[in-house]
């Protein structure tokens, strides 16, 4: 139960901000975990792995690692011996892909991704009746986004340096992104990448240059994925991931599949919905709230500039205007406060 709780409160929250998947991680997976032992074991394995990252590598016991592996093996065994419903196998396969991506085990992640895509193709050919809505609203979008995320993560190529045996972690390969010292530095870097992508996509002849920018985006994501996996869910990180979505949405479909706006216009609508939620959070510390607001302003500005046909562009513009109005009001209030004369000295 402890790791189911961790899944509901932390793991699913972190995973769900990587795209519009019809509440795959927050709703569909827990629902299927009650129906399928394979899905349940895979959920626990993934939750335990994520909990280990959050609590710190140094404090991770060998027992946690062995238990996580045991649940993973139990899920695979259940699929091989029990022959569960194809829908359950598909959910388990996407979870297995998620687990391997979290551990930077990209070879295994590709195997799981190909299995997921093949199961979806079987769905089309067999015309399954059960679970049609879930497949269309959650599993198919999930696979499309998994393909796009895998493509951009691997854009920089496979790292050749293996993790030393004494490195106590699940990681197969180390993270190799830039070492950002602050959220602001990471935001500046992704905004520059977005501007470059927007400029280059207007010039089809610059394909090679676009590939170079995609490599930079891949390295940037490496750093953010590390932050994301090793911390509790935060508004600041979510806002940074929304900027990543903007960069991906500008890229062509053949490079990033379901993240591309041309293939999936719902991506921009998802970004605006999440941006609106971030602006409504009232219990954020003031210093963090400023950073979140700055990231959201960049997100909204990019949508207004680069996605003129997006259904949510009007909402983005309205949110941006509201932020500017609030900032103006706050500035005028501070000026008025500072302009008040000091009270006269009281003479006894």
Domain boundaries, the chain: 2-156, 183-338
Of the ranges 38-42, 290-294, 335-339, which is most confident?
38-42
Q: What is the mean pLDDT of the chain?
A: 87
Banded model confidence at residue 53, pLDDT cuts 50, 70, 90: confident
Give the whole-angstrom CA distance, residue 271 versus residue 246.
8
Average pLDDT score over residue span 20-26: 89
Give the whole-angstrom CA distance, residue 247 versus residue 244.
5
Average pLDDT score over residue span 313-339: 83
Average pLDDT score over residue span 60-78: 85
Give the whole-angstrom CA distance, residue 245 versus residue 237.
13
Model confidence over 159-178: pLDDT tens digits? 545 444 344 456 788 888 88
| pLDDT tops 90 at residue 336 | no
Helices (H), the chain: 2-6, 12-16, 29-33, 37-55, 62-82, 86-102, 106-126, 132-134, 140-153, 183-200, 207-229, 235-250, 253-256, 266-280, 286-306, 313-339
Instruction: Establish how many alpha carbons lie within 13 A of residue 104's alpha carbon, considering only the half-sphere containing its beta carbon.
Output: 23
Model confidence over 249-292: pLDDT tens digits? 999 999 999 999 999 999 999 999 999 999 988 655 656 688 89
Banded model confidence at residue 132, pLDDT cuts 50, 70, 90: confident
Banded model confidence at residue 136, pLDDT cuts 50, 70, 90: confident
């Amino acid at each position: 139960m402890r790791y189911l709780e961790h899944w509901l409160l932390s793991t699913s929250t972190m995973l769900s901000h990587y795209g519009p998947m019809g509440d795959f991680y927050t709703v569909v997976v827990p629902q299927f975990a009650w129906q399928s032992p394979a899905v349940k074991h895979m959920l626990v394995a993934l939750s335990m792995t994520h909990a280990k990252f959050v609590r710190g590598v140094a404090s991770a016991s060998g027992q946690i690692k062995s238990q996580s592996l045991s649940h993973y093996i139990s899920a695979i065994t259940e699929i091989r011996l029990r022959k569960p419903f194809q829908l359950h196998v598909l959910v388990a396969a996407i979870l297995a892909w998620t687990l391997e991506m979290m551990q930077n085990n990209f070879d295994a992640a590709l195997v799981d991704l190909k299995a997921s895509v093949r199961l979806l193709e079987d769905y089309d050919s067999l015309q399954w009746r059960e679970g049609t809505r879930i497949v269309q609203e959650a599993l198919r979008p999930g696979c499309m986004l998994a393909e796009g995320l895998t493509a951009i993560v691997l854009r920089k190529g496979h790292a050749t340096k293996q993790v030393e045996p004494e490195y106590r972690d699940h990681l197969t390969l180390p993270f190799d992104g830039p070492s950002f010292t602050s959220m602001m530095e990471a935001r500046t870097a992704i905004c520059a990448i977005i501007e470059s992508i927007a400029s280059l996509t207007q010039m089809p002849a610059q394909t090679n240059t676009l590939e170079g920018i995609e490599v930079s985006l891949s390295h940037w994501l490496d750093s953010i994925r590390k932050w994301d996996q090793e911390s509790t869910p935060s508004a600041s990180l979510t806002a940074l991931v929304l900027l990543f979505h903007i960069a991906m949405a500008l890229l062509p479909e053949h490079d990033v599949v379901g993240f591309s706006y041309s293939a999936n216009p719902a991506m921009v609508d998802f970004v605006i919905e999440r941006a609106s939620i971030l602006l409504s959070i009232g219990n954020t510390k003031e210093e963090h709230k400023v950073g979140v607001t700055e990231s959201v302003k960049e997100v909204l500005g990019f949508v207004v500039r680069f996605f003129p046909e997006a259904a949510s562009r009007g909402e983005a513009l309205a949110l941006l205007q509201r932020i500017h109005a609030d900032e103006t009001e706050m500035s005028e209030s501070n000026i008025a406060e500072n302009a008040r004369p000091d009270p006269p000295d009281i003479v006894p």
